[in-house]
Amino acid sequence: MSTAPAKRKPADYKSGLKPIWCPGCGDFGVLASLYRAFAELDLDPARTVVVSGIGCSSRLPGFVSTYGFHSLHGRPLPVAMGVKLANPELDVIAVGGDGDGFAIGAGHFPHAARRNVDITYLVMDNEIYGLTKGQVSPTSLTDQRAPSTPWGNLETPLNTLAFAVASGASFVARGASFNTKALTELIVQAMEHRGFSYIDALSPCVMFNNHQEEWKELVTDVAPDHDVHDKAAAFDLALKGGFKLGIIYREQRETLGQKYQALVEASKASDVDAMLDAFSARKGAAIGKPTA
Amino acid sequence: MTARSSVVIRLAGESGEGVISSGDILTQAAARGGYWTQTFRTYPAEIKGGPCMYQVRMGGERIYSHGKRVDLLVCFNQEAWDLHWDSLAPDGVILYDQTAVEIPEAYAARARPVRMEQLAREIGGSLRAKNMVAVGAVAGVISFTTTPIEELVLRRYAHKQGVADANIAALRAGGDEGADLRGSLAIVDPVEVEEDRILLSGNQAIAVGAVAAGLRYFAGYPITPASDILEWLSAKLPQVGGITIQCEDEIASISSVLGASYAGAKAMTATSGPGLSLMTEMLGYAGTAEIPCVIVDAQRGGPSTGLPTKTEQSDLQHALYGGHGEAPRVVIAPTTVEDCFWSAIDAFNYSERYQVPVILLTDQGLATRMEVIHRPDTSAVELWQRATAAGVQGGYRRYELTPDSVSPMGIPGQEGGQYVATGIEHDEHGHPAYTPENHVAMQTKRWAKLEPLRNGIVRHESYGDERPDIAIIGFGSTYGAVREAIDLARAEGLSVGAFYPRVLGPFPAERVEAFCAGARRVVVPEVNFTGQLARLVRGECGLRVESHAKCDGLPFTAEDVLDVITERTPA
């Protein structure tokens, strides 16, 4: 009698590099949830890619035993898109922080979402710039005092959940680093979801913006009767305040990769010689636009 | 009157008036008729309106430049005459729409009115047939049989017999118009050849060359004059199983290209100077993380938004050095449309073998001109692949310091090849590492691996005398004009030769020095303001060079270069 190969354990996804994060950083909870989710999904480390941008949280790929791509500030989404479109067999997850994703990288977010690229995007949201020592981020609260806002933050925080729903993300959820069991489950569901999945993970910065205790007080689960397929209800939930944990929206929609696959299959197969034929001075050229 | 070996035909008028389509028809018909051609066009940056010009040079022998003096000027409107009369050759002929243009008395003897609008309406059935009237008149003057044009018309309107007939009638009517100038600019008949030549632009040659090299992922953002690479590949790449995506910006384009290449695909993006600026941060990343990719920069006039529809070679320094820190890359400058095809293949080969970003540096002139070239023999295409971590057994080091400084690359899906690609300085494993020794070792590795490209394996172009008295060093699209100028100068008894490094980074200093060793003068023509290549030659070779930089948005003509060679005052 043959036995099924043993399922991988969370520890199997540890790279052996020690995280550089400050003691108590919320990102530890996110990383632990990620290890558990990967184990639960039994992902093959050789076929999994973790892509990040720049910042404290973006050092995460180094701590995971899968393939990793530690890219540039704000760029994890286009990089992850390229990885996934080039090899649809891979499981691709992009990770980063709120500054990375919603300041410098904000231009990429709606496009990844509307394209419905089959990747998961996990943002460790601490409402601050940690690595550069505490300046405000796009999700920082109004009036917050920080080194760059000595008179208080004059700006309104970005509602990333509403942004995600508005942009066409097909899976939108919020978790918290201090609730690893639920966050693990969200990551599992997001990675199982076919399409662009966005998870906002509350992840306190203990050095510069420690909201851990307040957040623990404030968070409640999304009501069980919330209809995750109802976009208006999802907006409503996103706009009412950010402290509902769970899935707020999901829809099943063809992914960009599936559409390209269909396009490739529908295309008339060709090769370089046939392409050169189309430029032939004698037989190919026809009046109109230069032959394409 | 003896027949000419080549003729320069310039059609000019308002954008949208049929100038471009007339030029296209003529070019394609010439190619179909067995002539060699090269085109050059200027057009306004506006979408509609504004003056535009399409120049076709055609002849019985291979043509390397677009020509200077216009033998046959076709004026669709008064502005066309006003802008172009002074480009006419001394015996140049003029065709013009008499309802729109007045020609001064002094030119009357060699100008012939053509009832473009009137015949288009009466015989062609629509004002849109104006271009066919014009083309018919041109064909008469150069004694070009209209058969290939009629074949094209029949092909184009295969399902609309009425339209085809009307167009052919307009074509023939145009031919009758210039009857008394018939044959006044006759071109020699092309030599009949079996060879199947092709007609395409520099952009198209790069696109199809990239496919031949194995391109399977292209991402780009529309920008003049690079957009038709994106457009052509959008249509064609799915046919070979690849993907073309129009991204939200240039940063996303190159980022996704690096993601795709990291995942194992041969990947490319194409842009112009403003886009290259945006891509520069990720270009440095590619150099540091050692991820292959190809970036086409079809240069246009700068700085800033500059001259979007005009040519310039002013991104050379940006391509070579742009970015923070010192990030390795390879820069290749194709010289002709044919060379664009082969350079695209070289670009992928170098990129894959040395795991380095490669910039293909063309310009508006080369990118958009149509040229008849020898059909590339695809059986001669040799492809290099990157070394991968397939089959590694334990202890995989992504950035291993090997004798040739190239390290096998783990591709997601390969067991045991897991690593983290990163722009942070890293050790052999890819782990962040900031020690002085490690940084020196890694910078050395990243640059040393490119040394075979400096003086070794790459193809360079040279023309004319091998040990010239007057040595010309140039790059990219100026090659054709320089080549023709050398023929003219040597006919005057001068000793002239040109050396064109096709790889500019790393710079082949030894080969340039060797070429210039016996030269009395070293001349560097280039299309920019500050003489970037001249500075590079001075700096790399320590040579005293004459910079002949110009930045009027126009490509060099052979006559321009001849003036430089002979030190004559420009005519």
The answer to whether the Cβ–Cβ distance between B412 and A82 falls below 8 Å is no
The tokens for B256 are 């996704």
The ipTM value here is: 0.96
Going from the C-alpha of B321 to that of each of B15, B257, B412, B509, the distances in angstroms are: 38, 21, 31, 17
Please name the residue of chain B whose CA is at the shortest distance from the CA of residue A13: B418
Band (B222; pLDDT cuts 50, 70, 90)? very high
Please name the residue of chain B whose CA is at the shortest distance from the CA of residue A267: B239
Q: Is the pLDDT of residue A127 over 80?
A: yes
Helix (H, G, I), strand (E, B) or coil at B73: strand
DSSP percent split of chain B into helix, strand, coil, nearest 5:
40, 20, 40
The answer to whether the Cβ–Cβ distance between A82 and B212 falls below 8 Å is no
In DSSP terms, which residues pair with A52 in a beta bridge? A70, A95
Count CA atoms closer than 13 A to B339's CA, side-chain side.
Answer: 24
Band (A291; pLDDT cuts 50, 70, 90)? very low
Rg (CA), chain B: 26
Q: Is the pLDDT of residue A285 over 60?
A: no
CA–centroid distance for A88 within its chain: 17
Amino acid type, B520 = R
From chain A, pick out residues whose CB is under 8 angstroms from the CB of B265: 86-87
Q: Is the pLDDT of residue B192 over 80?
A: no
The answer to whether the Cβ–Cβ distance between B204 and A292 falls below 8 Å is yes
Q: What are phi and psi of A121, to 5 degrees?
A: -120, 115
Using one digit for the tens of pLDDT, what is the confidence trace for B336-370?
999 999 999 999 999 999 999 999 999 999 999 99
Band (A283; pLDDT cuts 50, 70, 90)? low
Please name the residue of chain A whose CA is at the shortest distance from the CA of residue B219: A82
First-last CA distance in chain A: 61
Helix (H, G, I), strand (E, B) or coil at B293: strand
The tokens for B340 are 């664009």
Please name the residue of chain A whose CA is at the shortest distance from the CA of residue B196: A280
**pTM, whole model, 2 decimals?**
0.96
The answer to whether the Cβ–Cβ distance between B431 and A17 falls below 8 Å is yes
| Residue of B131, B248, B268 to mutate, testing the A interface (most A Cβ within 10 Å of its Cβ) | B248
The answer to whether the Cβ–Cβ distance between B418 and A46 falls below 8 Å is yes
Rg (CA), chain A: 22
Per-residue burial over B106-135, b if 16 or more Cβ lie within 10 Å, else e, is ebeebbbbbbbbbbbbebbbeebbbbbbbb
Q: Are A249 and B185 in contact (CB under 8 A)?
A: no
Q: Is the pLDDT of residue B191 over 80?
A: no
Helix (H, G, I), strand (E, B) or coil at A279: coil
Binding-face residues of A in 201-240 toward B, CB within 8 A: none
CA–centroid distance for B143 within its chain: 30
pLDDT at B562: 97
From chain B, pick out residues whose CB is under 8 angstroms from the CB of A72: 255, 281-282, 285, 423
Strands B70-75 and B6-14: what pairing?
A: parallel
- How many residue contacts between A and B have a Cβ separation below 8 Å? 216
Cβ neighbours of residue A19 under 8 Å, at least 6 residues apart? A27, A28, A31, A59, A63
Torsion angle, alpha carbons of A103, A108, A110, A112, to 10: -140
Using one digit for the tens of pLDDT, what is the confidence trace for A3-49?
677 899 999 999 999 999 999 999 999 999 999 999 999 999 999 99
In DSSP terms, which residues pair with A234 in a beta bridge? none
Q: What is the mean pLDDT of residues B65-73?
A: 94
Angstroms from B264 CA to nearest CA on chain A: 7
Q: How many of the other CB atoms lie within 10 Å of CB of B324?
A: 8
The answer to whether the Cβ–Cβ distance between A86 and B199 falls below 8 Å is no
Using one digit for the tens of pLDDT, what is the confidence trace for A196-221?
999 999 999 999 999 999 999 999 99
Nearest to A124 by CA among A71, A178, A166: A178
Q: Average per-residue pLDDT in chain A?
A: 94
Binding-face residues of A in 16-55 toward B, CB within 8 A: 17, 45-49, 51
A45, A108, A270 member nearest B239 (Cβ): A270
A264, A267, A280 member nearest B198 (Cβ): A280
Please name the residue of chain B whose CA is at the shortest distance from the CA of residue A270: B239
Q: Average per-residue pLDDT in chain B?
A: 94
The answer to whether the Cβ–Cβ distance between A67 and B261 falls below 8 Å is no
Q: How far apart are CA B118 and CA B125, in angstroms?
A: 10
Flag the least confident range among A167-181, B31-45, B178-192, B386-400: B178-192
